[in-house]
Amino acid sequence: TEKNREGYAPLYDPFETFFSRYVYRRVQHCFNRPISSAPGAELTLKERCTDDRNWTFRFTGTERRCINLGSYNYLGFAGHSTHDEVAAAARRYGLALCSPRAELGTTRLHHLLEETTAKFLGVEAAIVVGMGFGTNTLGLPGLLGPGSLALSDEKNHASLIMGLRLARATVRVFRHNDVRHLEQLARAAIAERKWTKIVIVVEGVYSMEGTIVPLGAMVALKRRLGLQLYLDEAHSVGALGPRGRGVCDHAGVAPADVDVLMGTFTKSFGAAGGYIAGSAKLINWIRQYGHAHTYAHAMSPPVAQQILAAMRLLDEEEGRRRLRALRENTHYFRDQLRRMGVVTLGHPDSPVVPVLVYTFSKMAATVERLTESGVATVGVGFPATPLNKARIRFCLSASHSRGQLERCVEAMARAVRELGLDYSRQPR
């Protein structure tokens, strides 16, 4: 990019070179697709077409109803009838509190949600934050500082990486889910005798991989070596374990054995925001030193109400039914994909099901073919994945009927045939 007369680079790349224009359009074409309905088991996509004269898109005015395999609506609470209670909360408190929690931004719903979240997870206390991403980026600097060492899984989410950078902690990365590599790094760090604290930072379910953290082994290691454990359950809370309590529930680990339980409400609960949960002392500390409580807008009250309603349902027969449906749908869909010979990644219980298509062009073509067949899904490529590991990411939901999933399987089988995605019969 061109520098100005004084030699300074521009603030941003205006996408004016051919290559960046091309990439921009490719990317725009399979991502950022506007929807005009709730992201339930089905959703409505607004159709667009490219306008070659000025490299942009035009809406065609038509809409396409698709089965939705792209949203993280694991338990089907997006667009659910809890919305009567949510509307009542909006009428009473409004949508915004125009204040952080520490000033005039705390309502009865926030207290209730914090108590309920702690009880739901089986720990002493919780703090809730208006944004999931900000829960990590603002929470981690409250716990780690320049003398701290974070041992971070290589597949950790951007919000964890950014939080660790903001904390100015030293970060060493271990191979994904590799407890032996983690132990090597931990032992080497202990031998250095210079760290004020050593914290293992991992996720429950990894959203690009569909893998599940080996939590039992991690807890055993951190106990043996006297380390701490920070666990991000954005994709596992609500969705995993016989009671939907997340990866502790799935692995049979006591929640109190994890030092910091973090999660978001944006997936299983069909809401927004995040939480940090653990001992009462931890939460008092985060309230003081995690910047979210003091400097960021409080969670919107109707959002808090939505989460409360979803948590209440999860403790009733309705919740158990949804958890069973999610598990059955996940197993059915993974099974069908395996039969097609595509390369699926991850744990059999993970409702995120990535399918490797390797190249960016196959990723874009698959997303387009599926959309034409009435299946909305998400392609993921570089930089979220390695350059040659582009994938399609399917997200299962308790709200999908078997008939809907059968239609998705048919559409995928067609795309596999037409685009050559059956890598079981091809050299990779």
According to the binding rule CB under 6 A, does residue 385 interact with ligand PMP?
A: no
- The span of 127-135, 146-154, 301-309, 332-340 binding ligand PMP (CB under 6 A) equals 127-135
According to the binding rule CB under 6 A, does residue 300 interact with ligand PMP?
A: no
* Position among 114, 153, 209, 232 found at the interface with ligand PMP (CB under 6 A): 232
Q: What contacts 422, CB < 8 A, 6 or more positions away? A: 340, 341, 342, 416
Could you tell me if 354 and 392 are in contact, meaning their C-beta atoms sit under 8 angstroms apart?
Answer: yes
What is each CA distance from 71 to 12, 75, 117, 287, in whole angstroms? Answer: 30, 11, 23, 31
Which CB atom, from 212 or from 342, has the smaller least distance to ligand PMP? 212
What x/- string results for residues 236 through 265 when contact with ligand PMP is judged by CB under 6 A? ----------------------------x-
- The span of 11-19, 129-137, 138-146, 416-424 binding ligand PMP (CB under 6 A) equals 129-137
* Position among 68, 136, 300, 404 found at the interface with ligand PMP (CB under 6 A): 136
Could you tell me if 155 and 209 are in contact, meaning their C-beta atoms sit under 8 angstroms apart?
Answer: yes
CA distance 154 to 53: 42
CA distance 417 to 424: 13
According to the binding rule CB under 6 A, does residue 77 interact with ligand PMP?
A: no
**Tokens standing for 401?**
């009927």
According to the binding rule CB under 6 A, does residue 157 interact with ligand PMP?
A: yes
Minimal distance, residue 264 CB to ligand PMP, in Å: 4
According to the binding rule CB under 6 A, does residue 266 interact with ligand PMP?
A: yes
Which CB atom, from 130 or from 412, has the smaller least distance to ligand PMP? 130
According to the binding rule CB under 6 A, does residue 114 interact with ligand PMP?
A: no
Q: What contacts 379, CB < 8 A, 6 or more positions away? A: 30, 31, 357, 363, 364, 366, 367, 390, 391, 392, 393
According to the binding rule CB under 6 A, does residue 131 interact with ligand PMP?
A: yes
Which CB atom, from 222 or from 235, has the smaller least distance to ligand PMP? 235
Q: Where on the chain is the footprint of ligand PMP (CB under 6 A)?
A: 131-133, 136, 157, 159, 203, 207, 232, 234-235, 264, 266, 274
